[in-house]
Structure 1
Amino acid sequence: MAKDVLCEVNSCRHWANENQCTASSIYITNHQQKQAHSSAETDCKTFETK
């Protein structure tokens, strides 16, 4: 498991300085119920608005 998770979505409550993610776990799903072939085809379900 990754020790350092980086995220540029600074409108998320789990975002911290230097793009660090402070969530205790990360949940990512396929976008639109199809198998992902790139990061653009995924969605972060961990996101919460600040």
Structure 2
Amino acid sequence: MAQDVLCEVNNCKYWGQGNRCKADAIYVVSHVGKEASDSSETDCKTFTPEH
């Protein structure tokens, strides 16, 4: 299991210094079906705007 989750979306309420995600869990889905070919076919459902 990954120990560090990196994220560059600094307007997410879970964004931390050093591009570290501070969420307790991460939920990622494919927006093209059950299998994705690359990261552009996935979305982070954990994202929540900071404000």
Shared fold per TM-score greater than 0.5: yes
Structure 1 residue runs of 5 or longer lacking an equivalent are none
User: Please, what is the CA RMSD of the aligned residues?
Assistant: 1.1
Post-superposition, which runs of at least 4 consecutive aligned residues in structure 1 deviate over 3 A?
A: none
Structure 2 residue runs of 5 or longer lacking an equivalent are none
If each structure's helix is expressed as a fraction of its own residues, which one has the higher value?
1
Identity over aligned residues, as a percent? 54
Question: Which residue number corresponds to residue 33 of structure 1?
Answer: 33
How many residue pairs get matched?
50
What is the TM-score of this pair, normalised by structure 1?
A: 0.90
What is the TM-score of this pair, normalised by structure 2?
A: 0.89
